[in-house]
Amino acid sequence: MSVPQFSTRIMNTSGNVIREVLKLAEQSHIISFAGGFPSPNSFPVTQVNEIINELLQKSGPEILQYGSSEGFPAFREYLAAWLTGQGITATPDEVLITSGAQQVIDYMAKAFLNPGDGVIVENPTYLAALNVFKSYEAEIIPINGDANGVNLVELEKAAASGKAKMVYLVPTFANPTGVTTPVESRKKIVEILDKYGLIMLEDDPYSRLRYSGNPLPAVKSFDKTGNVVYTSSFSKLISPGMRVGYVTARHDILRKLVLGKQCTDVHTNNIGQRVVFEFCRRGILEPHIEKIIAQYKKQRDLMLDMCKQHLPAETTWNVPEGGLFLWLTLPGGINTTDLLPIAIEREKVAFIPGKPFFADGSGENSMRLNFSNASPEGIAEGMKRLGGVIKEILKNK
């Protein structure tokens, strides 16, 4: 058998470590803090069932047919008004419905990046975005961040270098660090984009999951030139299995994203779009979000308590105001990639090692813990096991 000649782009793309780990963590006896999964208890199964039945009865042939690439028109109208209400001025034809926010990252890369083009990202950042940029043979330019988000001096320096074409940021409850960029920095980011003529993708799947503090305006809300493209998703609010997200962008950019979509999947699943639209239109979404916020806040607080109780001294972690993750830095040179198989096989507890989130290959002693997917009992037990194995390794070092 001859060896297949794979493309450079796919050879550049490392397997998504999260998905590989999830295969192990999916076993029912494993307590998983690994994926960014919403709680299975949060899924509105009854309401989705009712809506689907009604939709099939009233509009069956229509929703089982092909639809337009841009998305269901009434849903685009709804989202444009909803975004405008949040300070992100958008017309319906500046909104594209997508199969999740992940697809928007791909379309942005497809629309803007030639091999070797630079993408500025925060170090660390969402690892599946790094994989997309690598798959388009982009040069990733990592810049450091801290508790206030991306370092603006480094951002300006990277922008001024002339190597970058695009900036990718998760300014609210970042994955993996949970950090939120303050308002003043958001304004400054837009100034830098405009000064150097850069496009930015603002990836915002988590901002509605806020447990404390006040909501902040999106970076996009300060954008006067259309250099910021904004994406969000219903994955963490209703269901990731539905695969419904959206993007709003300046008209010329949106047209290119639509071309990308036509090559990939023609249009977003009609049933998913229509269910999510009904969820919004009927006023079910807001009370549903309130319910999951109350649940996740408890789970976040419990996991924070468990960190205090079980993790060795000198471990540090963030207290995120929202989102789904705690971000830990371990003491004593513990390598979390080496720790993972021991934690899974021996302690039956899973997490995501920090290293793959770092474009510069650092972060060996960090880890991301998800607090939304495990039950309260699972959080208490899993953190006890995790703390135990970390302490044991430290003792034997």
Ligand X SMILES: Cc1ncc(COP(=O)(O)O)c(C=O)c1O
**Which residues form the interface with ligand X (CB under 6 A)?**
36, 100-102, 126, 170, 175, 203, 205, 233, 235, 240, 245
- Cβ closer to ligand X: 72 or 168? 168
- Cβ closer to ligand X: 142 or 240? 240
Sort strands 95-98 and 245-248 into parallel, antiparallel or unpaired: antiparallel
In the complex, what is the shortest distance from the CB of residue 210 to ligand X, in angstroms, rounded to a whole number? Answer: 15
Estimate the share of the chain in helix, then strand, then coil, as percent rounded to the nearest 5.
50, 15, 35
Which of these, 352, 371, 373, lies nearest to 307 by C-alpha position?
371
Which of these, 302, 306, 311, lies nearest to 387 by C-alpha position?
311
- Cβ closer to ligand X: 264 or 312? 264
- Measured distance CA(370)–CA(21) in Å, rounded: 14
In the complex, what is the shortest distance from the CB of residue 128 to ligand X, in angstroms, rounded to a whole number? Answer: 7
Tokens linked to 289: 């979000």
- Measured distance CA(300)–CA(27) in Å, rounded: 23
- Cβ closer to ligand X: 315 or 373? 373
Whose CB is nearest to ligand X?
A: 100
In the complex, what is the shortest distance from the CB of residue 333 to ligand X, in angstroms, rounded to a whole number? Answer: 28
- Cβ closer to ligand X: 299 or 315? 299
In the complex, what is the shortest distance from the CB of residue 104 to ligand X, in angstroms, rounded to a whole number? Answer: 8
- Measured distance CA(172)–CA(207) in Å, rounded: 6
In the complex, what is the shortest distance from the CB of residue 124 to ligand X, in angstroms, rounded to a whole number? Answer: 12
Which of these, 252, 237, 253, lies nearest to 205 by C-alpha position?
237
Task: Give one word for 293, left, alpha or beta, with left for phi > 0 and alpha for psi -120 to 50.
Answer: alpha
DSSP 30-79: SEE--S-PPPGGG--HHHHHHHHHHHHHHHHHHHTS---TT--HHHHHHH
- Cβ closer to ligand X: 138 or 334? 138
In the complex, what is the shortest distance from the CB of residue 397 to ligand X, in angstroms, rounded to a whole number? Answer: 33
- Measured distance CA(156)–CA(136) in Å, rounded: 24
- Cβ closer to ligand X: 118 or 323? 323
In the complex, what is the shortest distance from the CB of residue 331 to ligand X, in angstroms, rounded to a whole number? Answer: 27
- Cβ closer to ligand X: 101 or 158? 101
- Measured distance CA(56)–CA(72) in Å, rounded: 16
Write out the E strands in the chain.
31-32, 95-98, 118-123, 139-146, 149-150, 164-169, 199-203, 228-233, 245-248, 316-317, 325-329, 349-350, 352-353, 366-370
In the complex, what is the shortest distance from the CB of residue 100 to ligand X, in angstroms, rounded to a whole number? Answer: 2
